[in-house]
A and B are shown apart, each in its own frame.
Chain A
Amino acid sequence: MKTFSKYWSIFQITLINSLAYPGELAGRSLMIIPFMWIFYQLWKVTFNAAGVDAMNGLTLHDTLWYLMLAETIELGRPPIARTMSENVKDGSIAYILNKPYDFLLYQFSTAMGETIFRAMLNAIFGGLTVLWLVGTPEHPEGFLIALPAILGAWVLHFCINAMIGLSAFVVEDVSAFTWIYQKFSFIFGGMLIPLDFYPQWLQTFAKFLPFSSAIYGPARLFVTPTTEIFINVMTLQLGWIVVLTFLLTIAYRRGLTQLTVNGG
Protein backbone atom coordinates (compact mmCIF):
# COMPACT_ATOMS: atom_id res chain seq x y z
CA MET A 1 0.00 0.00 0.00
CA LYS A 2 2.87 2.32 0.92
CA THR A 3 4.50 1.59 -2.45
CA PHE A 4 1.29 2.43 -4.25
CA SER A 5 0.85 5.71 -2.36
CA LYS A 6 4.32 6.81 -3.49
CA TYR A 7 3.34 6.56 -7.16
CA TRP A 8 -0.10 8.02 -6.44
CA SER A 9 1.65 11.08 -5.00
CA ILE A 10 3.87 11.38 -8.10
CA PHE A 11 0.74 11.15 -10.25
CA GLN A 12 -1.01 13.85 -8.18
CA ILE A 13 1.97 16.20 -8.30
CA THR A 14 2.21 15.91 -12.10
CA LEU A 15 -1.55 16.32 -12.40
CA ILE A 16 -1.45 19.58 -10.40
CA ASN A 17 1.66 20.71 -12.31
CA SER A 18 -0.17 20.27 -15.59
CA LEU A 19 -2.68 22.85 -14.38
CA ALA A 20 -0.02 25.42 -13.60
CA TYR A 21 -0.33 26.94 -17.08
CA PRO A 22 -4.02 26.61 -18.03
CA GLY A 23 -3.63 28.86 -21.09
CA GLU A 24 -0.91 26.62 -22.48
CA LEU A 25 -2.96 23.51 -21.71
CA ALA A 26 -6.03 24.91 -23.48
CA GLY A 27 -3.95 26.26 -26.38
CA ARG A 28 -2.51 22.83 -27.12
CA SER A 29 -5.94 21.24 -27.13
CA LEU A 30 -7.39 23.67 -29.68
CA MET A 31 -5.76 21.75 -32.52
CA ILE A 32 -8.49 19.14 -32.37
CA ILE A 33 -11.04 21.70 -33.67
CA PRO A 34 -9.62 22.10 -37.23
CA PHE A 35 -8.91 18.35 -37.30
CA MET A 36 -12.55 17.52 -36.62
CA TRP A 37 -13.77 20.14 -39.07
CA ILE A 38 -11.61 18.76 -41.87
CA PHE A 39 -12.65 15.17 -41.05
CA TYR A 40 -16.26 16.32 -41.30
CA GLN A 41 -15.62 17.80 -44.76
CA LEU A 42 -13.81 14.68 -45.96
CA TRP A 43 -16.34 12.14 -44.70
CA LYS A 44 -19.39 14.21 -45.65
CA VAL A 45 -18.17 14.31 -49.26
CA THR A 46 -17.18 10.63 -49.16
CA PHE A 47 -20.54 9.42 -47.77
CA ASN A 48 -22.36 11.59 -50.33
CA ALA A 49 -20.23 10.26 -53.18
CA ALA A 50 -20.80 6.66 -52.04
CA GLY A 51 -24.54 7.41 -51.89
CA VAL A 52 -25.04 5.45 -48.66
CA ASP A 53 -26.09 6.32 -45.11
CA ALA A 54 -23.86 3.74 -43.46
CA MET A 55 -20.69 1.87 -44.38
CA ASN A 56 -19.87 -1.34 -42.53
CA GLY A 57 -22.19 -0.33 -39.70
CA LEU A 58 -20.89 3.24 -39.31
CA THR A 59 -22.89 6.33 -40.30
CA LEU A 60 -21.31 9.75 -40.91
CA HIS A 61 -22.48 10.65 -37.42
CA ASP A 62 -20.76 7.56 -35.88
CA THR A 63 -17.61 8.12 -37.93
CA LEU A 64 -17.22 11.66 -36.61
CA TRP A 65 -17.72 10.63 -32.97
CA TYR A 66 -15.37 7.68 -33.51
CA LEU A 67 -12.69 10.04 -34.87
CA MET A 68 -13.24 12.47 -32.00
CA LEU A 69 -12.39 9.79 -29.44
CA ALA A 70 -9.50 8.43 -31.53
CA GLU A 71 -8.01 11.94 -31.73
CA THR A 72 -8.60 12.53 -28.02
CA ILE A 73 -6.62 9.39 -27.14
CA GLU A 74 -3.81 10.24 -29.56
CA LEU A 75 -3.52 13.97 -28.79
CA GLY A 76 -3.88 13.41 -25.05
CA ARG A 77 -0.83 11.25 -24.58
CA PRO A 78 2.43 12.94 -23.55
CA PRO A 79 5.73 12.44 -25.48
CA ILE A 80 7.13 9.79 -23.13
CA ALA A 81 9.76 8.47 -25.56
CA ARG A 82 11.11 11.96 -26.21
CA THR A 83 11.22 12.77 -22.49
CA MET A 84 13.12 9.57 -21.71
CA SER A 85 15.48 10.23 -24.61
CA GLU A 86 16.11 13.76 -23.29
CA ASN A 87 16.78 12.29 -19.82
CA VAL A 88 19.46 10.06 -21.33
CA LYS A 89 20.98 12.81 -23.49
CA ASP A 90 21.24 15.46 -20.78
CA GLY A 91 22.34 12.99 -18.12
CA SER A 92 19.39 13.68 -15.79
CA ILE A 93 18.55 9.98 -15.92
CA ALA A 94 21.38 9.50 -13.38
CA TYR A 95 19.33 11.49 -10.84
CA ILE A 96 16.12 9.61 -11.60
CA LEU A 97 17.68 6.15 -11.44
CA ASN A 98 19.18 6.59 -7.98
CA LYS A 99 15.92 7.72 -6.35
CA PRO A 100 13.97 5.26 -4.17
CA TYR A 101 11.35 4.46 -6.79
CA ASP A 102 11.05 2.20 -9.78
CA PHE A 103 12.07 4.07 -12.94
CA LEU A 104 9.29 2.65 -15.12
CA LEU A 105 6.54 3.16 -12.54
CA TYR A 106 7.78 6.71 -11.98
CA GLN A 107 7.56 7.40 -15.71
CA PHE A 108 4.11 5.80 -15.85
CA SER A 109 2.81 7.91 -12.95
CA THR A 110 4.08 11.16 -14.49
CA ALA A 111 2.77 10.19 -17.94
CA MET A 112 -0.72 9.54 -16.56
CA GLY A 113 -0.61 12.79 -14.60
CA GLU A 114 0.14 14.70 -17.78
CA THR A 115 -2.48 12.79 -19.78
CA ILE A 116 -5.67 13.34 -17.77
CA PHE A 117 -6.34 17.07 -18.20
CA ARG A 118 -4.84 17.14 -21.67
CA ALA A 119 -7.22 14.41 -22.81
CA MET A 120 -10.16 15.99 -20.98
CA LEU A 121 -9.69 19.29 -22.78
CA ASN A 122 -9.28 17.54 -26.13
CA ALA A 123 -12.51 15.63 -25.46
CA ILE A 124 -14.30 18.87 -24.55
CA PHE A 125 -13.11 20.89 -27.58
CA GLY A 126 -13.42 17.93 -29.96
CA GLY A 127 -16.80 16.94 -28.51
CA LEU A 128 -18.22 20.46 -28.82
CA THR A 129 -17.01 20.70 -32.43
CA VAL A 130 -18.59 17.36 -33.42
CA LEU A 131 -21.75 18.22 -31.48
CA TRP A 132 -22.03 21.42 -33.53
CA LEU A 133 -21.31 19.59 -36.81
CA VAL A 134 -23.46 16.44 -36.51
CA GLY A 135 -25.36 16.55 -33.21
CA THR A 136 -25.24 14.41 -30.07
CA PRO A 137 -23.71 10.90 -30.09
CA GLU A 138 -26.21 8.11 -30.56
CA HIS A 139 -25.00 6.35 -27.40
CA PRO A 140 -23.73 8.98 -24.91
CA GLU A 141 -23.42 6.18 -22.34
CA GLY A 142 -20.80 4.68 -24.68
CA PHE A 143 -18.25 7.06 -23.21
CA LEU A 144 -18.56 5.50 -19.74
CA ILE A 145 -18.51 1.98 -21.19
CA ALA A 146 -15.39 2.83 -23.23
CA LEU A 147 -13.62 4.43 -20.23
CA PRO A 148 -11.78 1.24 -19.11
CA ALA A 149 -10.65 0.73 -22.71
CA ILE A 150 -9.42 4.34 -22.88
CA LEU A 151 -7.34 3.80 -19.72
CA GLY A 152 -6.05 0.53 -21.17
CA ALA A 153 -5.14 2.40 -24.38
CA TRP A 154 -2.95 4.80 -22.42
CA VAL A 155 -1.24 1.88 -20.67
CA LEU A 156 -0.53 0.33 -24.08
CA HIS A 157 0.76 3.62 -25.45
CA PHE A 158 2.99 3.92 -22.40
CA CYS A 159 4.46 0.43 -22.85
CA ILE A 160 5.30 0.99 -26.53
CA ASN A 161 6.56 4.54 -26.04
CA ALA A 162 8.65 3.57 -23.04
CA MET A 163 10.28 0.82 -25.10
CA ILE A 164 11.08 3.40 -27.78
CA GLY A 165 12.36 5.74 -25.06
CA LEU A 166 14.56 2.97 -23.63
CA SER A 167 16.19 2.53 -27.02
CA ALA A 168 17.84 5.89 -26.23
CA PHE A 169 20.11 3.85 -23.92
CA VAL A 170 21.63 2.52 -27.14
CA VAL A 171 20.96 5.02 -29.96
CA GLU A 172 20.36 8.29 -28.00
CA ASP A 173 18.12 9.94 -30.63
CA VAL A 174 14.77 8.20 -30.87
CA SER A 175 12.82 10.68 -32.98
CA ALA A 176 12.79 8.48 -36.10
CA PHE A 177 11.27 5.60 -34.09
CA THR A 178 8.60 7.86 -32.60
CA TRP A 179 7.55 9.15 -36.04
CA ILE A 180 7.28 5.63 -37.41
CA TYR A 181 5.35 4.42 -34.35
CA GLN A 182 2.97 7.36 -34.73
CA LYS A 183 2.35 6.53 -38.38
CA PHE A 184 1.74 2.85 -37.57
CA SER A 185 -0.80 4.08 -35.00
CA PHE A 186 -2.42 6.19 -37.73
CA ILE A 187 -2.73 3.25 -40.12
CA PHE A 188 -3.22 0.17 -37.95
CA GLY A 189 -4.95 2.10 -35.18
CA GLY A 190 -7.58 3.50 -37.54
CA MET A 191 -6.92 7.08 -36.55
CA LEU A 192 -7.79 8.79 -39.81
CA ILE A 193 -9.92 6.06 -41.38
CA PRO A 194 -11.89 3.63 -39.17
CA LEU A 195 -10.54 0.08 -39.67
CA ASP A 196 -14.05 -1.01 -40.76
CA PHE A 197 -13.49 0.82 -44.06
CA TYR A 198 -10.28 -1.13 -44.85
CA PRO A 199 -10.14 -4.12 -47.22
CA GLN A 200 -11.12 -7.31 -45.35
CA TRP A 201 -7.61 -8.84 -45.24
CA LEU A 202 -6.10 -5.62 -43.86
CA GLN A 203 -8.92 -5.24 -41.33
CA THR A 204 -8.31 -8.74 -39.95
CA PHE A 205 -4.56 -8.10 -39.72
CA ALA A 206 -4.84 -4.59 -38.23
CA LYS A 207 -7.50 -5.49 -35.67
CA PHE A 208 -5.18 -8.06 -34.10
CA LEU A 209 -2.30 -5.60 -33.55
CA PRO A 210 -1.75 -3.55 -30.37
CA PHE A 211 -2.28 -0.29 -32.31
CA SER A 212 -5.93 -1.15 -32.83
CA SER A 213 -6.34 -1.97 -29.13
CA ALA A 214 -4.92 1.45 -28.36
CA ILE A 215 -7.14 3.51 -30.69
CA TYR A 216 -9.70 1.65 -32.77
CA GLY A 217 -11.01 -0.56 -29.95
CA PRO A 218 -11.96 2.19 -27.47
CA ALA A 219 -13.29 4.49 -30.23
CA ARG A 220 -15.45 1.75 -31.78
CA LEU A 221 -16.72 0.75 -28.35
CA PHE A 222 -17.74 4.38 -27.75
CA VAL A 223 -19.98 4.49 -30.85
CA THR A 224 -21.20 0.87 -30.56
CA PRO A 225 -21.26 0.04 -26.86
CA THR A 226 -22.40 -3.60 -27.03
CA THR A 227 -21.43 -6.35 -24.60
CA GLU A 228 -19.83 -8.37 -27.39
CA ILE A 229 -17.55 -5.51 -28.53
CA PHE A 230 -16.72 -4.66 -24.91
CA ILE A 231 -15.58 -8.22 -24.20
CA ASN A 232 -13.59 -8.44 -27.46
CA VAL A 233 -11.87 -5.09 -26.97
CA MET A 234 -11.01 -5.65 -23.30
CA THR A 235 -9.76 -9.22 -23.84
CA LEU A 236 -7.43 -8.27 -26.68
CA GLN A 237 -6.27 -5.16 -24.86
CA LEU A 238 -5.47 -7.00 -21.63
CA GLY A 239 -3.59 -9.63 -23.62
CA TRP A 240 -1.41 -6.97 -25.25
CA ILE A 241 -0.88 -5.15 -21.94
CA VAL A 242 0.47 -8.36 -20.37
CA VAL A 243 2.75 -9.12 -23.34
CA LEU A 244 4.06 -5.56 -23.70
CA THR A 245 4.59 -5.04 -19.96
CA PHE A 246 6.67 -8.23 -19.92
CA LEU A 247 8.70 -7.08 -22.93
CA LEU A 248 9.15 -3.61 -21.43
CA THR A 249 10.49 -5.04 -18.18
CA ILE A 250 13.02 -7.17 -20.06
CA ALA A 251 14.02 -4.24 -22.29
CA TYR A 252 14.54 -2.05 -19.23
CA ARG A 253 16.74 -4.59 -17.46
CA ARG A 254 18.85 -5.12 -20.57
CA GLY A 255 18.98 -1.40 -21.32
CA LEU A 256 20.37 -0.61 -17.86
CA THR A 257 23.41 -2.78 -18.53
CA GLN A 258 24.21 -0.73 -21.65
CA LEU A 259 23.61 2.74 -20.22
CA THR A 260 26.57 5.12 -20.03
CA VAL A 261 25.99 8.55 -18.52
CA ASN A 262 28.52 11.24 -19.29
CA GLY A 263 28.21 14.20 -16.96
CA GLY A 264 24.71 15.54 -16.33
Chain B
Amino acid sequence: MKELKFLIAIWQTNLQSAMEYRAAFLTQVIGMIVNNFIYFAIWIIFFNKFKDVRGWGVNDMYVTFGVLASSFGLVSLLFGNTFTLSDIIAKGRLDYYLSLPRPVLLHTVASRTIASGMGDFLYGFISYCLSGYFTWDGLARFALAALLAATVFGAFLILTQSLAFWFGSMSNFSGLMLNAMLTFGIYPITLFDSYAKLILFTIIPAALMGAVPAEFIRAFTWEVLGQLLLGAIGFLALAIFVFHKGLRRYESGSAIQIEI
Protein backbone atom coordinates (compact mmCIF):
# COMPACT_ATOMS: atom_id res chain seq x y z
CA MET B 1 0.00 0.00 0.00
CA LYS B 2 2.84 2.34 0.95
CA GLU B 3 4.57 1.56 -2.35
CA LEU B 4 1.36 2.21 -4.28
CA LYS B 5 1.06 5.67 -2.71
CA PHE B 6 4.68 6.29 -3.58
CA LEU B 7 4.09 5.20 -7.19
CA ILE B 8 1.05 7.44 -7.55
CA ALA B 9 3.04 10.38 -6.20
CA ILE B 10 5.82 9.74 -8.76
CA TRP B 11 3.34 9.44 -11.63
CA GLN B 12 1.67 12.69 -10.59
CA THR B 13 5.02 14.45 -10.56
CA ASN B 14 5.93 12.96 -13.96
CA LEU B 15 2.63 14.08 -15.42
CA GLN B 16 3.00 17.59 -14.04
CA SER B 17 6.50 17.73 -15.46
CA ALA B 18 5.29 16.55 -18.90
CA MET B 19 2.40 19.01 -18.86
CA GLU B 20 4.82 21.86 -18.25
CA TYR B 21 5.43 21.67 -22.01
CA ARG B 22 1.77 21.26 -22.93
CA ALA B 23 2.16 21.87 -26.67
CA ALA B 24 5.02 19.35 -26.98
CA PHE B 25 3.01 16.83 -24.93
CA LEU B 26 -0.07 17.18 -27.11
CA THR B 27 2.00 17.08 -30.32
CA GLN B 28 3.53 13.80 -29.20
CA VAL B 29 0.22 12.25 -28.15
CA ILE B 30 -1.65 13.24 -31.32
CA GLY B 31 1.41 12.53 -33.47
CA MET B 32 1.63 9.00 -32.09
CA ILE B 33 -2.06 8.30 -32.68
CA VAL B 34 -1.75 9.52 -36.30
CA ASN B 35 1.48 7.54 -36.68
CA ASN B 36 -0.24 4.33 -35.56
CA PHE B 37 -3.20 4.90 -37.87
CA ILE B 38 -0.88 5.38 -40.84
CA TYR B 39 1.11 2.28 -39.94
CA PHE B 40 -2.03 0.21 -39.64
CA ALA B 41 -3.09 1.28 -43.13
CA ILE B 42 -0.42 -1.13 -44.41
CA TRP B 43 -2.29 -4.04 -42.85
CA ILE B 44 -5.57 -2.80 -44.30
CA ILE B 45 -3.95 -2.76 -47.75
CA PHE B 46 -2.46 -6.20 -47.16
CA PHE B 47 -5.68 -7.87 -46.00
CA ASN B 48 -7.68 -6.06 -48.65
CA LYS B 49 -5.65 -7.96 -51.25
CA PHE B 50 -4.91 -11.26 -49.51
CA LYS B 51 -8.03 -11.53 -47.26
CA ASP B 52 -6.47 -13.71 -44.54
CA VAL B 53 -3.27 -15.38 -43.39
CA ARG B 54 -4.10 -18.92 -42.26
CA GLY B 55 -7.40 -17.79 -40.79
CA TRP B 56 -6.05 -14.49 -39.41
CA GLY B 57 -7.92 -11.50 -40.85
CA VAL B 58 -7.80 -7.73 -40.59
CA ASN B 59 -10.20 -7.74 -37.59
CA ASP B 60 -7.76 -9.92 -35.66
CA MET B 61 -5.00 -7.49 -36.60
CA TYR B 62 -7.00 -4.57 -35.19
CA VAL B 63 -7.27 -6.36 -31.83
CA THR B 64 -3.65 -7.58 -31.78
CA PHE B 65 -2.21 -4.24 -32.83
CA GLY B 66 -4.53 -2.49 -30.37
CA VAL B 67 -3.54 -4.50 -27.31
CA LEU B 68 0.13 -4.31 -28.27
CA ALA B 69 -0.07 -0.52 -28.67
CA SER B 70 -1.92 -0.05 -25.37
CA SER B 71 0.48 -2.24 -23.40
CA PHE B 72 3.50 -0.54 -24.99
CA GLY B 73 1.92 2.83 -24.19
CA LEU B 74 1.24 1.85 -20.59
CA VAL B 75 4.88 0.88 -20.00
CA SER B 76 6.12 4.07 -21.74
CA LEU B 77 3.82 6.23 -19.67
CA LEU B 78 4.23 4.66 -16.24
CA PHE B 79 7.65 3.00 -16.36
CA GLY B 80 9.53 5.00 -19.01
CA ASN B 81 12.98 4.16 -17.62
CA THR B 82 12.57 0.46 -18.45
CA PHE B 83 13.68 1.46 -21.97
CA THR B 84 16.97 2.98 -20.75
CA LEU B 85 17.71 0.88 -17.67
CA SER B 86 20.91 -0.58 -19.12
CA ASP B 87 22.30 2.92 -19.70
CA ILE B 88 21.36 3.95 -16.17
CA ILE B 89 23.19 0.90 -14.80
CA ALA B 90 26.25 1.23 -17.05
CA LYS B 91 26.67 4.96 -16.40
CA GLY B 92 26.44 4.62 -12.61
CA ARG B 93 23.18 6.54 -12.40
CA LEU B 94 21.67 4.01 -9.99
CA ASP B 95 23.61 5.79 -7.22
CA TYR B 96 20.84 8.35 -6.94
CA TYR B 97 18.12 5.74 -6.41
CA LEU B 98 20.26 3.63 -4.07
CA SER B 99 20.71 6.58 -1.77
CA LEU B 100 16.96 6.96 -1.21
CA PRO B 101 14.80 4.82 1.12
CA ARG B 102 12.54 3.40 -1.59
CA PRO B 103 12.60 0.15 -3.64
CA VAL B 104 15.40 0.75 -6.13
CA LEU B 105 13.88 -0.99 -9.15
CA LEU B 106 10.42 0.50 -8.75
CA HIS B 107 11.76 3.99 -8.14
CA THR B 108 14.16 3.81 -11.10
CA VAL B 109 11.77 2.54 -13.73
CA ALA B 110 8.85 4.75 -12.65
CA SER B 111 10.92 7.95 -12.64
CA ARG B 112 10.33 8.79 -16.27
CA THR B 113 7.25 9.27 -18.42
CA ILE B 114 7.40 9.06 -22.22
CA ALA B 115 4.63 11.39 -23.37
CA SER B 116 4.01 9.63 -26.68
CA GLY B 117 3.00 6.55 -24.64
CA MET B 118 -0.34 8.25 -23.99
CA GLY B 119 -0.93 8.27 -27.77
CA ASP B 120 -0.13 4.54 -28.01
CA PHE B 121 -2.31 3.74 -25.01
CA LEU B 122 -5.34 5.61 -26.40
CA TYR B 123 -4.82 4.31 -29.92
CA GLY B 124 -5.07 0.73 -28.65
CA PHE B 125 -8.62 1.32 -27.40
CA ILE B 126 -9.60 3.04 -30.66
CA SER B 127 -8.19 0.11 -32.61
CA TYR B 128 -10.21 -2.34 -30.51
CA CYS B 129 -13.39 -0.31 -31.02
CA LEU B 130 -12.83 -0.43 -34.80
CA SER B 131 -12.13 -4.17 -34.85
CA GLY B 132 -15.71 -5.35 -35.15
CA TYR B 133 -15.23 -7.43 -31.98
CA PHE B 134 -16.40 -4.64 -29.68
CA THR B 135 -18.61 -5.58 -26.71
CA TRP B 136 -18.65 -4.03 -23.24
CA ASP B 137 -17.33 -7.15 -21.53
CA GLY B 138 -14.77 -7.39 -24.35
CA LEU B 139 -13.66 -3.87 -23.47
CA ALA B 140 -13.13 -4.93 -19.85
CA ARG B 141 -11.12 -7.92 -21.11
CA PHE B 142 -9.14 -5.55 -23.35
CA ALA B 143 -8.19 -3.41 -20.33
CA LEU B 144 -7.16 -6.49 -18.30
CA ALA B 145 -5.27 -8.02 -21.23
CA ALA B 146 -3.42 -4.73 -21.87
CA LEU B 147 -2.41 -4.62 -18.20
CA LEU B 148 -1.10 -8.20 -18.22
CA ALA B 149 0.62 -7.72 -21.59
CA ALA B 150 2.23 -4.54 -20.24
CA THR B 151 3.50 -6.53 -17.23
CA VAL B 152 5.12 -9.09 -19.53
CA PHE B 153 6.58 -6.34 -21.72
CA GLY B 154 7.90 -4.29 -18.81
CA ALA B 155 9.37 -7.40 -17.17
CA PHE B 156 11.03 -8.42 -20.45
CA LEU B 157 12.62 -4.97 -20.77
CA ILE B 158 13.92 -5.11 -17.18
CA LEU B 159 15.31 -8.60 -17.80
CA THR B 160 17.20 -7.74 -20.98
CA GLN B 161 18.40 -4.36 -19.71
CA SER B 162 19.56 -5.83 -16.38
CA LEU B 163 22.20 -7.80 -18.29
CA ALA B 164 24.13 -4.52 -18.13
CA PHE B 165 25.14 -5.52 -14.58
CA TRP B 166 27.22 -8.33 -16.09
CA PHE B 167 28.13 -7.08 -19.57
CA GLY B 168 28.18 -3.26 -19.35
CA SER B 169 26.10 -1.10 -21.67
CA MET B 170 23.68 -3.32 -23.55
CA SER B 171 21.85 -0.61 -25.49
CA ASN B 172 22.32 -2.38 -28.85
CA PHE B 173 21.26 -5.77 -27.56
CA SER B 174 18.31 -4.41 -25.61
CA GLY B 175 17.28 -2.32 -28.65
CA LEU B 176 17.42 -5.48 -30.73
CA MET B 177 15.29 -7.39 -28.21
CA LEU B 178 12.79 -4.53 -27.97
CA ASN B 179 12.38 -4.43 -31.75
CA ALA B 180 12.13 -8.21 -31.94
CA MET B 181 9.42 -8.21 -29.26
CA LEU B 182 7.35 -5.57 -31.07
CA THR B 183 7.90 -7.02 -34.55
CA PHE B 184 7.04 -10.59 -33.62
CA GLY B 185 4.16 -9.43 -31.43
CA ILE B 186 2.45 -7.61 -34.25
CA TYR B 187 2.54 -10.29 -36.96
CA PRO B 188 -0.15 -13.00 -37.15
CA ILE B 189 0.90 -15.90 -34.91
CA THR B 190 -0.47 -18.33 -37.50
CA LEU B 191 2.64 -17.58 -39.58
CA PHE B 192 4.92 -19.43 -37.22
CA ASP B 193 5.65 -23.13 -36.83
CA SER B 194 5.78 -24.83 -33.42
CA TYR B 195 9.51 -24.16 -32.83
CA ALA B 196 9.07 -20.46 -33.53
CA LYS B 197 6.01 -20.41 -31.27
CA LEU B 198 8.05 -21.93 -28.45
CA ILE B 199 10.50 -19.02 -28.78
CA LEU B 200 7.62 -16.52 -28.86
CA PHE B 201 6.34 -17.81 -25.52
CA THR B 202 9.71 -18.02 -23.77
CA ILE B 203 12.91 -16.32 -24.99
CA ILE B 204 11.11 -13.45 -26.74
CA PRO B 205 7.61 -13.61 -25.19
CA ALA B 206 5.98 -11.62 -28.00
CA ALA B 207 3.00 -14.00 -28.10
CA LEU B 208 2.14 -12.95 -24.53
CA MET B 209 2.05 -9.32 -25.68
CA GLY B 210 0.10 -9.73 -28.92
CA ALA B 211 -1.58 -12.98 -29.98
CA VAL B 212 -2.53 -14.45 -26.57
CA PRO B 213 -4.07 -11.24 -25.14
CA ALA B 214 -5.90 -10.80 -28.47
CA GLU B 215 -7.33 -14.31 -28.15
CA PHE B 216 -8.48 -13.52 -24.60
CA ILE B 217 -10.15 -10.30 -25.75
CA ARG B 218 -12.06 -12.02 -28.56
CA ALA B 219 -13.48 -14.73 -26.28
CA PHE B 220 -13.05 -15.40 -22.58
CA THR B 221 -11.54 -18.74 -21.55
CA TRP B 222 -9.98 -19.62 -18.21
CA GLU B 223 -7.16 -21.38 -20.02
CA VAL B 224 -6.00 -18.27 -21.89
CA LEU B 225 -6.44 -16.09 -18.81
CA GLY B 226 -4.31 -18.62 -16.91
CA GLN B 227 -1.60 -18.41 -19.60
CA LEU B 228 -1.59 -14.62 -19.39
CA LEU B 229 -1.48 -14.54 -15.59
CA LEU B 230 1.21 -17.18 -15.43
CA GLY B 231 3.28 -15.35 -18.06
CA ALA B 232 2.89 -11.97 -16.34
CA ILE B 233 3.69 -13.24 -12.82
CA GLY B 234 6.48 -15.53 -14.01
CA PHE B 235 8.28 -12.91 -16.10
CA LEU B 236 7.86 -10.21 -13.45
CA ALA B 237 9.27 -12.47 -10.72
CA LEU B 238 12.19 -13.45 -12.96
CA ALA B 239 12.88 -9.80 -13.87
CA ILE B 240 12.90 -8.71 -10.20
CA PHE B 241 15.14 -11.66 -9.27
CA VAL B 242 17.65 -10.96 -12.08
CA PHE B 243 17.73 -7.22 -11.33
CA HIS B 244 18.47 -7.78 -7.63
CA LYS B 245 21.00 -10.48 -8.40
CA GLY B 246 22.74 -8.02 -10.70
CA LEU B 247 22.46 -5.18 -8.22
CA ARG B 248 24.87 -7.04 -5.92
CA ARG B 249 27.51 -6.65 -8.63
CA TYR B 250 26.78 -2.97 -9.20
CA GLU B 251 29.60 -0.51 -8.77
CA SER B 252 30.04 3.08 -9.88
CA GLY B 253 32.69 5.76 -9.92
CA SER B 254 30.70 7.88 -7.46
CA ALA B 255 30.07 10.36 -10.22
CA ILE B 256 27.93 13.33 -9.27
CA GLN B 257 24.62 12.94 -11.05
CA ILE B 258 21.73 15.31 -11.22
CA GLU B 259 18.38 13.63 -11.78
CA ILE B 260 15.85 15.87 -13.47
Residues of A within 8 A of B (CB): 23-24, 27-28, 30-31, 34-35, 38, 41-42, 45-46, 49-50, 171-173, 175-177, 179-180, 182-184, 186-187, 192-193, 197-199, 202
Contacts and interface: CB of A to CB of B under 8 A. Distances in A.
15 contacts: A28-B172, A38-B184, A42-B188, A45-B54, A45-B190, A46-B50, A49-B50, A175-B31, A176-B28, A176-B31, A176-B32, A176-B35, A187-B45, A193-B46, A199-B48
Contacts of B196: 41
B82 to A, nearest CB: 19
B70 interface: no
Contacts of B42: 186-187, 192-193
Contact of B35 (A34, A179, A202): A179
Contacts of A27: 172-173, 176
Interface string B139-173: 00000000000000000000000000000000011
B223 to A, nearest CB: 26
Contacts of A31: 175-176, 179-180
B35 A180 contact: yes
Contacts of B34: 176, 180
Nearest to A198: B45
Nearest to B48: A199
Given A173-B24, A193-B46, A202-B45, A180 B54 contact: no
B187 A38 contact: yes
Given A50-B50, A180-B31, A175 B116 contact: yes
Given A41-B192, A182-B35, A187-B45, 19 more contacts: A23-B172, A27-B172, A27-B176, A30-B172, A34-B179, A38-B183, A41-B196, A42-B187, A171-B27, A173-B24, A173-B28, A175-B28, A175-B116, A176-B31, A176-B34, A179-B35, A183-B35, A186-B42, A199-B48
A42 B53 contact: yes
Contacts, number: 89
Contact of B54 (A30, A49, A183): A49
Given A173-B27, A179-B32, A49 B172 contact: no
A156 to B, nearest CB: 19
A186 B44 CA distance: 13
Most buried by A among B27, B52, B173: B27
B45 A193 contact: yes
Contacts of B39: 183, 186
Nearest to B36: A183
A30 B180 CA distance: 11
B191 interface: yes
B49 interface: yes
A211 to B, nearest CB: 12
Contact of B176 (A30, A45, A202): A30
B148 to A, nearest CB: 24
Contacts of A180: 31, 34-35, 38
Interface string B60-99: 0000000000000000000000000000000000000000
B30 interface: yes
B170 to A, nearest CB: 9
Interface string B178-199: 0110011001101110001000
B100 interface: no
B54 A35 contact: no
Interface in B14-62: 24, 27-28, 30-32, 34-35, 38-39, 41-42, 45-46, 48-50, 52-54
A193 to B, nearest CB: 6
A138 to B, nearest CB: 23
Contacts of A175: 28, 31, 116
The 9 A-B pairs of least Cβ separation, nearest first, read A176-B31, A27-B172, A183-B38, A179-B35, A41-B191, A173-B24, A183-B39, A176-B27, A34-B180
Nearest to B179: A31
Nearest to B30: A176
